[in-house]
Amino acid sequence: MTEPEHGTTPTASPTDERVASHERVATGALAGWMRSCATHPWRVVVSWLGIIAVLIALVATVGGALEDEFTIPGSDTQKATDLLEAEFASEQGGVLNLVFAAPEGESLDTPVRKAAIAKAITRLESSEFKPSEDTVGLTEVADPFDDETFSDNGRIAYAQAQFDQVIEGKDRDAVVAVQDAVRETVEPAGVTVEFNGDAEFPPVEQGASEGLGLLAAIIVLLFVFRTFVAMLIPIALAIVALITAFLLLFILAGFTKINTITPILVSMIGLGVGIDYSLFIVTRFRQLLHDGLSKQDAAAEAGASAGRAVIFAGATVAISVAGLAFIGLDFVTKLGIGSALGVLTTVLIANSLLIAVLSLLGHKVDRLKIPFIRAVDDSEEARDRTPIARWGRFVTANAKVVFPVLLIAGFILAGTSALVRLGAADQGTQPLEQTSRRAYDLLAEGFGAGFNGPIPIVVDVNGDKEAATRIYERVKGLDGVASAGEPQFNDPGTVAIVFVTPDSAPQDEATDTLVDTLRSDVVPAAVAGSDAVAYVSGQTAAFKDIADQIISRMPIFLLFIIGVTFIVLAMAFRSIVVSATAAVTTLLSAFIGFGVLGLVVQQGHLLGLTGLDKTGPIETFVPPIAFAILFGLSMDYMVFIMSRIREEHVHGLDTRAAVEHGISAIGRVVVAAALIMGTVFAAFILSADRVPKEFGLLLAVAILTDALVVRMTLVPAFLTLMGEKSWYMPRWLDRVLPNLTIEAPHAGAPTPATPAPEPAGGS
């Protein structure tokens, strides 16, 4: 055990002189609540059944469906969208592209194939697919054999089918019916047909990823607990919390638009934290039982200590998600709020229902042991002999080597995040199993790479109808432009659209450059001296606008998240060293995750493992949402491990010994929790859509790095090197900050160690 430095906290007493955990009784409001839940468990269980019943009733009465809505306030893209919605009302319905193709080396222009395609078009124009009061329908279907829709090689053609309404999730069956009708009509003639357009989007697929995540969690929990009953508790709590989160999500959808990708994030975050938080509390409960407490006392004490850490951990996630509001994009904020629902429900259930269930179970939590595997001994003496405990002693003994080596390696890997390019990955990067990807490839083959991403220039003529023509004349011969369409005016002639087809694909940097050129040079020159106003829009422009908005707001976003979290952790641990370490190391983990995501998805290293076959940029909204989630979740591990280290320090051990005992007590849980969380995230790499794959890969890498490398190795090594200075807190800040600590106050406990005194001349 190291000796303390002169003027720091007094040398800790040996382990066997510490106050035993069962001799310390938690006090305070939270401890009183936990004792109430443990003493009256059936009241808590019945209350939660009633809450869930009320939520189900609310979903049935005021709940709504999920609907995608992306707005970018103040941007050219949004101004163009608003103008089109106001002036082209008749064209607001969804469009489904029917992409026909003959076999390689053959032509569609044969009597049999043309007849089959014509029959399919005629069928779509019949009353079978007309709009009705109950369902959406087709208002128009174009001719695929027009000169502009029939490829030069004769192999590929497309037709646009116009629906009467914007297609939403509830309209999916109507779209599928159209697709099935076309397929069954043309395929006997040897014609392949694929579909894309804004009416074709894959439904949100859930179940497979969540199931794999649960299976992995079950395996890890069985290894940790060695009993089926203990394993089932975190799984059951996570499922209940997830169900509650989804009920809240659909109630929220009744009052505001919630994007269809939100359930993926709710599942991803909800399952991970649901299992992790309950794992933390159940482990503490079993340790207290094995130390001799009664089942009610153990449940109450586990809630007062581990449950308190769970509340702080959940608060950091809430703070991080709240910071997304500073981005100024409504859909980003709502995605964050949806992600936080799983955390909110888990914290509430873990600190009430879980405590009640543990109180009812008592020593039954150790029943149904796995055969042929030795039961886990959670006593303190046994914990000190585990591999995790030995790892903690290795890290502290070799801190002077471990810390610089890991820090340098981390900075090198994090540096790869500088290569990440934000943008809009087009449908050409989606899995080949999706019809929209196959349609994209056919259209790119038949009509050029830029055909799938036209750039619409929307012109509000304001009395100058020639403005749209001047834009067209300047654009059609521009470098990087494959073709430009003549201006298309609305009926009153007040608004025109000039469609520009680039040479490059929507996701290529060359297309980004073309958008910049149009906005900064070509369009302003064409409308100079005129009252006309023009906006460059489209997918590429939209994602550029999103990126610009995110980058401009990123400083205040980061300042809020890091600043508020710093203050919360300073209150919790009464140390600015610990809170600053948490913030800096979390940033390191985040940049490592971003770097690895870029290396895989953008650079193509090990791309096949994700189920993708084509690289592309990272979607612009992924980094802020992932960062907010990651910052909150990585703080969870910091809170979990540091709460136990601080508890050991408060009750008498010096810093190095507190680190060693903290790791031996909670390290196994942190490792298990990280493996569970990482596996749950990684399971979403198997999703059909690219965006969940990106979130899953990024969060899995970052969480595993953060928990296993940063929290279990880098931070303990740093604390060991800092010694008692780890607990430094300026006296003025200690007086200002509320005394809201993670370690619950205990009757009969030793007086907590005072903060290390300030150095001479300190503030």
Q: What is the average per-residue pLDDT within 259-286?
A: 82
Residue with tokens 């298309």: 488
Q: Per-residue pLDDT tens for 227-239?
A: 888 888 888 888 8
Q: Per-residue pLDDT tens for 502-533?
A: 998 888 888 989 999 999 898 898 888 888 89
Query: Would you say residue 446 lies in a domain?
Result: no
8 A C-beta contact, residue 514 and residue 504: yes
Residue among 521, 537, 533 nearest 463 (CA): 533
Residue 392 has pLDDT above 60, yes or no: yes
My answer on whether 569 and 653 are in the same domain is yes
Query: Would you say residue 427 lies in a domain?
Result: no
Residue 755 has pLDDT above 50, yes or no: no
My answer on whether 363 and 489 are in the same domain is no
The rounded mean pLDDT for the chain is 82
What is the pLDDT confidence band of residue 428, given thresholds at 50, 70 and 90?
A: confident
My answer on whether 572 and 472 are in the same domain is no
DSSP-derived 3-state class of residue 201: coil
My answer on whether 561 and 516 are in the same domain is no
My answer on whether 377 and 312 are in the same domain is yes
Query: Would you say residue 277 lies in a domain?
Result: yes
How many angstroms separate the CA atoms of 537 and 544, rounded?
10
Hey, what amino acid is at 710?
Answer: V
Q: Which residues contact 88 (CB under 8 A, 6 or more apart)?
A: 490, 495
My answer on whether 167 and 275 are in the same domain is no
Q: Which residues contact 606 (CB under 8 A, 6 or more apart)?
A: 600
The range of the structural domain enclosing residue 576 comes to: 15-64+205-419+544-742
Would you give the distance in Å from CA 600 to the centre of its chain? 18
My answer on whether 96 and 26 are in the same domain is no
Comparing 143 with 19, the larger pLDDT belongs to 143
506: left (phi over 0), alpha (psi -120 to 50) or beta: alpha
Burial (CB count <10 Å: 0-12, 13-18, 19+), residue 558: middle
Residue among 381, 358, 373 nearest 286 (CA): 358
Q: Per-residue pLDDT tens for 35-85?
A: 888 888 899 999 999 999 999 999 999 888 777 777 888 888 888 888 887
Q: Which of these ranges, 359-373, 538-552, 568-582, 646-660, has the smallest mean pLDDT?
A: 359-373
My answer on whether 154 and 226 are in the same domain is no
Q: Which helix (H) or strand (E) holds 638?
A: helix 622-650
DSSP-derived 3-state class of residue 8: coil
My answer on whether 585 and 529 are in the same domain is no
My answer on whether 212 and 288 are in the same domain is yes
For a pLDDT cut of 70, what percent of the chain falls above it? Answer: 90
My answer on whether 235 and 373 are in the same domain is yes
Query: Would you say residue 499 lies in a domain?
Result: yes
How many angstroms separate the CA atoms of 505 and 423, rounded?
12
- How many structural domains comprise the chain? 3
Comparing 437 with 632, the larger pLDDT belongs to 437
Q: Per-residue pLDDT tens for 120-166?
A: 999 998 888 888 877 888 888 888 888 788 888 889 999 988 888 87
8 A C-beta contact, residue 566 and residue 488: no
Residue 582 has pLDDT above 80, yes or no: yes
Among residues 509, 537, 565, which one ends one of the domains? 537
Among residues 161, 196, 231, which one ends one of the domains? 196
How many angstroms separate the CA atoms of 99 and 158, rounded?
4
Query: Would you say residue 353 lies in a domain?
Result: yes
SS (H, E, C) 55-120: HHHHHHHHCCCCCCCCCCCCCHHHHHHHHHHHHCHHHCCCEEEEEEECCCCCCCCCHHHHHHHHHH
My answer on whether 531 and 550 are in the same domain is no
Query: Would you say residue 246 lies in a domain?
Result: yes
What is the pLDDT confidence band of residue 752, given thresholds at 50, 70 and 90?
A: very low
Q: Which of these ranges, 26-30, 251-255, 418-422, has the smallest mean pLDDT?
A: 26-30
Hey, what amino acid is at 201?
Answer: F
Query: Would you say residue 613 lies in a domain?
Result: yes
Report helix, strand and coil shares of the chain as percent, to nearest 5.
Answer: 65, 10, 30
8 A C-beta contact, residue 222 and residue 370: yes
* pLDDT value of position 751: 43
How many angstroms separate the CA atoms of 471 and 459, rounded?
9
Residue 15 has pLDDT above 60, yes or no: no
Query: Would you say residue 646 lies in a domain?
Result: yes
DSSP E strands, 475-576: 481-484, 488-489, 495-502, 533-536
Question: Angle between the 76-87 and 539-573 helix axes, to the nearest 10 degrees?
Answer: 130
What is the pLDDT confidence band of residue 377, given thresholds at 50, 70 and 90?
A: low
How many angstroms separate the CA atoms of 560 and 218, rounded?
37
DSSP 9-43: SPPPPPGGGSPPGGG-EE-SHHHHHHHHHHHSHHH
Backbone angles phi, psi at 139, to 5 degrees: -105, -20
Among residues 135, 170, 196, which one ends one of the domains? 196
